[in-house]
Chains A and B, each alone.
Chain A
């Protein structure tokens, strides 16, 4: 039984009719780490969560959560995991305090019993405890939902898109909270569609349409990025993009904000490209080498796959 794995997923598949939501997904979450499941809508994140918290049965494959089998021991798993579904699942007509008490009761504990664990989060919203959950701001709802998911001191925490639709400040605060929880020994599986949150995880799985593209630490994933990436900008960004697409020495090129990103082929010469572009009538051309971020990694993995 003793295992250093908080979650072990082996070849899980799940279909809804003709749609394959999950296609032989395998991954491991170590004790005490924050593992990020990163991918767009339709990647199968929510389905995997529901299978792991024993709400859905997988068509194929097996998984262990906290060393327990998700099929055989599902009842035991239910008292050990904390689960925060995609939408903040709170009762809008109950107050902060009533929500907390109710969720504590659900797991046969009291709020006082595990107050220490939730205190750093709950204290921020406690002054408003008589306010109904429906009248809270997004950030406060998020904190309340997390407090409710933690109140029974779970050993593994499942957070399904906890930061979706929440502004950048609240998102950043939320990740700080998760890091505090990890310090207390909790293992956390968290999903997000925001690629920039990858760096806040210990390890991540990039996933798309039901399968995993790669699993690694975010740093290592960026380090092993194979190819030369440049940032490029000019006065007319749209015309620039069109012209870059016609350059033979460029493998891929896409918008990325202030600079377009371009992935160069072998023998690419930035100076030559600048000359060409200026000759084509572009002004204020600027090219620089850049280190890829997770989005670049994702795009590369995805376009490799599509070819």
Chain B
């Protein structure tokens, strides 16, 4: 056992002395969480709106008042019809509401028959589709509500994430990514480095079992990841204010399974790659890309083309991110994420088996 601990000590020294990598490994989660939490957000906080009104009347005035009173909308005043293009192009406004010149007549028609010609037009800067869609949604809600003036208006409630804060969604995604980065990428690079420098030869030509070598290599990265898990959870709770209504124990257990899965992946990569750069590329191409594209971190799985859905099912991060969303944001109980958990456990065992089979104690 002391031999094993000495081995772990050596690995720890490698990590600690490579201070740049260690700093990156420890700061990356913090930076990413803060970045996604504050700087990069896909929700629309502020839509700049101008109006074109050929003929003011009381009804229009009320609509415009409603617009300017909305906290997510900044009212930029009324402009001339000919200025529409210039205002949008210059970026002065994101949207322009154009009221029809016979607005009152069209409205009356609506009220009478429940249908008719559009009484207003929404012109949007759609160069950023996300902002445009969200903005259009807001404006439609406000203006249609005004238009209908009835209680029959469908009331939409945003559940779980009432302000649709994107950080809530991104935190599990970041977790899914960071653990893969640290456990799989750094571990595989660390193992392959020994192959490159030739020290692996010396390790193998010693009575130490390959399993010991591997476990000792993984231990410090596992610990590093646990530190990161703690940082992320603390940041999520106290800085981003994610409610974390789910059971903390469940979050930790599922995360630890995912950490082991990542370590197994890293080991598998190290058995394939002979150079550090290859290990790095495989990690990036085979793991990071699918995590970002296919795990549901960025793009909802439901919206994926049918061919990609089964592919996303083999991306481990998909199940982890799903479980984390449910536990952290929805406050689901463990039984609800049982499916995710079982899939992760099975994947871990399978990967570990393949990796250990591939990592034999010869060079071939």
Q: Do A and B interact directly, with beta carbons closer than 8 Å?
A: yes
Chain A residues close to B by CB (< 8 Å): 50, 53-57, 75, 78-79, 81, 83-87, 89-94, 98, 101-103, 105-108, 148-149
Within 8 A of A (CB), among B317-364: 362-364
Complex CA distance for A69 and B198, rounded to whole angstroms: 24
Asked whether A56 lies within 8 Å of B14 as measured between CB atoms, the reply is: no
Within 8 A of A (CB), among B166-211: 197-199, 201-208
Instruction: Tell me, yes or no, whether B155 is within 8 Å of chain A by CB.
Output: no
- Binding site secondary structure of chain B: helix
Complex CA distance for A33 and B197, rounded to whole angstroms: 29
Asked whether B17 lies within 8 Å of A93 as measured between CB atoms, the reply is: yes
Within 8 A of A (CB), among B1-33: 2-3, 6-7, 10, 13-14, 17-18
Asked whether B199 lies within 8 Å of A78 as measured between CB atoms, the reply is: no
A102-B6, A105-B3, A105-B6 are known contacts. Are A91 and B202 too (CB-CB below 8 A)? no
Asked whether A75 lies within 8 Å of B207 as measured between CB atoms, the reply is: yes
Return the contact of B205 from the options A54, A57, A105 (Cβ within 8 A): A54
A83-B202, A87-B198, A106-B206 are known contacts. Are A94 and B363 too (CB-CB below 8 A)? no
A284 shortest CB reach to chain B, Å: 50
Asked whether A89 lies within 8 Å of B206 as measured between CB atoms, the reply is: no
Return the contact of A93 from the options B7, B13, B362 (Cβ within 8 A): B13
Return the contact of B199 from the options A53, A54, A90 (Cβ within 8 A): A90
A258 shortest CB reach to chain B, Å: 38
A86-B198, A89-B201, A98-B10 are known contacts. Are A56 and B364 too (CB-CB below 8 A)? yes
Complex CA distance for A149 and B7, rounded to whole angstroms: 17
What are 12 A-B pairs at a CB distance below 8 A? A50-B201, A54-B205, A55-B204, A55-B362, A57-B362, A78-B204, A83-B205, A84-B202, A89-B201, A91-B14, A103-B202, A105-B2
Asked whether B207 lies within 8 Å of A107 as measured between CB atoms, the reply is: yes
A81 shortest CB reach to chain B, Å: 7
In addition to A54-B205, A86-B198, A93-B18, 20 A-B residue pairs with Cβ atoms within 8 Å of each other are A50-B201, A53-B201, A53-B205, A54-B362, A56-B364, A78-B204, A78-B206, A83-B205, A85-B201, A89-B201, A91-B10, A93-B13, A94-B13, A94-B17, A101-B6, A105-B6, A106-B203, A106-B207, A108-B207, A149-B202
A235 shortest CB reach to chain B, Å: 48
List chain B residues, Cβ under 8 A from A53: 201, 205
Interface size on B, residues (CB 8 A): 23
A149 shortest CB reach to chain B, Å: 8
Asked whether B7 lies within 8 Å of A55 as measured between CB atoms, the reply is: no
Complex CA distance for A103 and B7, rounded to whole angstroms: 10
A78 shortest CB reach to chain B, Å: 5
List chain B residues, Cβ under 8 A from A84: 202
B310 shortest CB reach to chain A, Å: 37
List chain B residues, Cβ under 8 A from A90: 199
List chain A residues, Cβ under 8 A from B17: 93-94
A104 shortest CB reach to chain B, Å: 9
Complex CA distance for A79 and B208, rounded to whole angstroms: 9
Return the contact of A83 from the options B6, B201, B364 (Cβ within 8 A): B201
Asked whether A102 lies within 8 Å of B10 as measured between CB atoms, the reply is: yes
Complex CA distance for A102 and B10, rounded to whole angstroms: 7
A66 shortest CB reach to chain B, Å: 13
List chain B residues, Cβ under 8 A from A86: 198
Complex CA distance for A18 and B207, rounded to whole angstroms: 33
Complex CA distance for A98 and B197, rounded to whole angstroms: 17
Complex CA distance for A89 and B18, rounded to whole angstroms: 18
Within 8 A of A (CB), among B205-221: 205-208
Complex CA distance for A90 and B197, rounded to whole angstroms: 8
Asked whether B363 lies within 8 Å of A78 as measured between CB atoms, the reply is: no
B183 shortest CB reach to chain A, Å: 21
Among A85, A92, A106: residue with most chain B CB under 10 A: A106
Complex CA distance for A44 and B68, rounded to whole angstroms: 82
Complex CA distance for A90 and B205, rounded to whole angstroms: 14
List chain B residues, Cβ under 8 A from A106: 3, 202-203, 206-208
Complex CA distance for A79 and B18, rounded to whole angstroms: 31
A74 shortest CB reach to chain B, Å: 8
Nearest to B199 among chain A residues (CB) is: A89
Complex CA distance for A304 and B2, rounded to whole angstroms: 58
List chain A residues, Cβ under 8 A from B207: 75, 78-79, 106-108
Asked whether A85 lies within 8 Å of B6 as measured between CB atoms, the reply is: no
List chain B residues, Cβ under 8 A from A75: 207
Asked whether A79 lies within 8 Å of B206 as measured between CB atoms, the reply is: yes
